[in-house]
């Protein structure tokens, strides 16, 4: 026996449809994260600071998977700042090994997920072994066009702006650029983030509410979201909480 289903002309949206719409509407294109609190996480457990960084790598894995699932286009992670060189040598050495360790294990998954890896910051001044591992991943993933995983490595925004100014002056001197043509768009092309859209959402963990020399130019109209969660405790749920709050925000860019 065949059952004839009634023809539904204007199908009413079910709560499931609405839920799906809510989940996919107004997703940020570019999310940037200041991953903070590794040291405090370790201290709370009477562990050395590097144990916090080690656990922090697991949170990197979680957030990359969550960003991939949410169809985020760019994920920028602040992994090492130009000021982090002030830390004790063993901690710096450990932090410099992390990209290699992470990529050694996770590059196959990143390839499978069509993730492209890129960095911003003073790449040349990184230790050779770090550069080699990261450059290998950049080259290997350069044909991928899914999520762009952008590591801020030896990155400082003031340093970035200073080097941009110096290059602009050199180009003006060499008649490659005229002062009259210099505007915000051209200036942006001299930054490490050239070609990238500005972050839509900035997340900082660990309860601190400051920028710490991160993307000062690029964050001009970014929505900020702070959480007390320490970076090693970060999870897909916390990431989704940030995204959901972003989805409710109204961005006016100075307009009304």
Q: Report the catalytic residues.
A: 36, 84
Contact flag: residue 57 with ligand FPP (CB under 6 A): yes
| Rounded least distance, CB 167 to ligand FPP, Å | 27
Q: Would you say 77 or 164 has its CB closer to ligand FPP? A: 77
Contact flag: residue 160 with ligand FPP (CB under 6 A): no
Q: Would you say 102 or 190 has its CB closer to ligand FPP? A: 102
Q: Any known ligand binding at 87?
A: yes
Contact flag: residue 99 with ligand FPP (CB under 6 A): yes
Neighbouring C-beta atoms of residue 96, cutoff 10 Å = 18
Contact flag: residue 35 with ligand FPP (CB under 6 A): yes
Contact flag: residue 56 with ligand FPP (CB under 6 A): yes
Of 58, 84, 167, 188, the residue at the interface with ligand FPP (CB under 6 A) is 84
Site for ligand FPP, rule CB under 6 A: 35-40, 53, 56-57, 60, 79, 84, 95, 98-99, 102, 151, 206, 231
- Annotated binding-site residues read 36-41, 49, 53, 81-83, 85, 87, 204, 210-212, 223
- Annotated binding-site residues for Mg(2+) read 36, 223
């Amino acid at each position: 026996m065949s059952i004839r289903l009634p023809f539904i002309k204007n199908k009413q949206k079910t709560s499931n449809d609405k839920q799906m719409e809510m989940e996919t509407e107004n997703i940020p294109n570019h999310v940037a994260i200041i991953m903070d609190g590794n040291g405090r996480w370790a201290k709370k457990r009477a562990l050395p600071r590097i144990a916090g960084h080690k656990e922090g790598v697991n949170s990197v894995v979680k957030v990359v998977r969550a960003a991939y699932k949410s169809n985020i286009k760019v994920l920028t992670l602040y992994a090492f700042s130009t000021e982090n060189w002030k830390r004790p040598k063993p901690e710096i050495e450990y932090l410099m090994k992390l990209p290699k360790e992470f990529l050694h294990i996770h590059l196959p998954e990143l390839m499978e997920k069509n993730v492209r890896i890129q960095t911003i910051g003073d790449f040349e001044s990184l230790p050779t072994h770090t550069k080699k591992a990261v450059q290998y991943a950049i080259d290997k993933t350069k044909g991928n066009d899914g999520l762009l995983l952008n590591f801020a490595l030896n990155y400082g925004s003031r340093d970035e702006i200073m080097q941009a100014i110096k290059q602009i002056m050199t180009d003006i001197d060499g008649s490659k650029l005229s002062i009259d043509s210099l505007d915000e768009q051209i200036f942006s092309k001299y930054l490490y983030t050239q070609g990238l859209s500005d972050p839509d959402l900035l997340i900082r963990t660990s309860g601190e509410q400051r920028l710490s020399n991160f993307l000062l130019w690029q964050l001009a109209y970014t929505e900020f979201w702070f959480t007390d969660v320490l970076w090693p405790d970060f999870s897909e749920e916390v990431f989704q909480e940030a995204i959901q709050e972003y989805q409710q925000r109204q961005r006016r860019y100075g307009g009304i």
